[in-house]
């Protein structure tokens, strides 16, 4: 039972906790990159990107479960790919706005100083502005990534064999005692993973996050 919960059902490996981690880390990282691109587009081309902003605002109002279901049913993607894409879109709709708000608040004097030092706009954007935005967003990003780890459970609607799906399958098979063991073990696995992630992100924030005092 433990092996199934961690590695996935025998015919669906990798699955279980391993697949949950792969999907959470992969979609979180992809969404962070796309979020930066979205924020850059919004700041550089505010009027042109209005439609994109409106689309993401609507996307934030749609449940992740519905998004996963629609992509799984209407696209030609494989079910895991559709689930992954849904998680990425859902994440971008949330963290894209975080990046946009911080990128727009980049202090103008820092841009002026970069120009005085002869640093071009592209290099300034890549070496100063984006890292500054990323470090300012770390608090919000950490909250989202923890939430994303748990949100991978919504993939259960497509039957992709991540931890929640495996838990559902195993708990429906057995007796009440088995159901209790399966659910408690799965809950414990999520809890331990979430607590470890919280600790890791707290360390990352303590090391890299920019606070108001430091930036002023």
Partner 1 sequence: MSAFAVYVAATVVLWATSAAMALVLAVLLAAGGRSPRRPVRIVAGSLTTLTRGVPTSLLVIAAGTFAMGTPPPGWLPNPFPGTPDGMVVVAWSIVAALAFGSAGHLGVILRSAYESLGEHWHEQVRTMGSSTRMTLALVVREVIPAGLPPVGARLVHHLHNTAFAALFPVADLFGWVQLQANTTFEVTHYAVVGALGYVVLSGAIWGACRLIEARVAGDRRVRRRPPAVAAVAVPR
Q: Interface residues with partner 1 (CB under 8 A)?
A: 58, 60-66, 69-70, 73-74, 146, 150-154, 156-157, 163-164, 167-168, 171-172, 176, 179, 183, 186-187, 190-191, 194-195
Closest contact distance (angstroms) between CB of 101 and partner 1 is 14
**Closest Cα partner for 141 from 67, 77, 81, 204?**
204
Minimum CB–partner distance for residue 79 and partner 1 (Å)? 14
Distance CA 168, CA 127 (A): 46
Q: Which is nearer to partner 1, 6 or 194 (CB)?
A: 194
Question: What is the 3-state secondary structure of 55-103?
Answer: HHHHHHCCCHHHHHHHHHHHCCCCHHHHHHHHHHHHHHHHHHHHHHHHH
Least CB distance to partner 1 at residue 5 (A): 11
State residue 119 phi and psi, 5-degree precision.
-90, 125
- Which secondary structure element, helix H or strand E, spans residue 149, and what is its range? helix 130-151
**Minimum CB–partner distance for residue 33 and partner 1 (Å):** 24
Task: Give CA–CA dist 185/212, Å, rounded.
Answer: 41
Q: How far is the CB of 176 from partner 1 (least distance, A)?
A: 8
160 cis-preceded (ω within 30 degrees of 0): no
Instruction: Report in angstroms how near the CB of residue 1 gets to partner 1 at its nearest.
Output: 15
Rg (CA), the chain: 20
**Tokens at residue 147, please?**
């939430």
112 vs 178, beta carbon nearer partner 1:
178
100 or 129: CB nearest partner 1: 100
Nearer to partner 1, 111 or 185 (CB): 185
Helix (H, G, I), strand (E, B) or coil at 159: coil
**CB of 7 or CB of 71, closer to partner 1:** 71
- Cβ proximity to partner 1: between 3 and 55 the closer is 55
């Amino acid at each position: 039972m433990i092996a199934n919960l961690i590695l996935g059902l025998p015919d669906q490996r990798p699955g279980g906790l391993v697949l949950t981690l792969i999907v959470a880390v992969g979609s979180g990282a992809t969404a962070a990159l796309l979020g930066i691109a979205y924020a850059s587009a919004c700041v550089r081309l505010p009027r042109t990107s209005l439609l994109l902003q409106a689309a993401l605002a609507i996307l934030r109002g749609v449940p992740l479960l519905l998004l996963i279901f629609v992509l799984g049913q209407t696209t030609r993607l494989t079910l895991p790919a559709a689930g992954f894409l849904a998680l990425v879109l859902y994440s971008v709709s949330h963290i894209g706005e975080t990046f946009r708000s911080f990128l727009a608040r980049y202090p103008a004097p820092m841009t002026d100083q970069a120009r005085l030092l002869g640093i071009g706009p592209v290099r300034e954007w890549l070496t100063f502005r984006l890292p500054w935005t990323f470090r300012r967003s770390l608090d919000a990003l950490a909250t989202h990534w923890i939430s994303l780890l748990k949100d991978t459970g919504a993939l259960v609607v497509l039957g992709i064999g991540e931890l929640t799906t495996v838990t559902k399958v195993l708990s429906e098979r057995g007796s009440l005692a088995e159901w209790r063991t399966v659910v408690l073990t799965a809950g414990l696995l999520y809890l331990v993973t979430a607590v470890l992630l919280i600790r890791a992100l707290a360390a990352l924030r303590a090391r890299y996050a920019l606070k108001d005092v430091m930036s002023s």
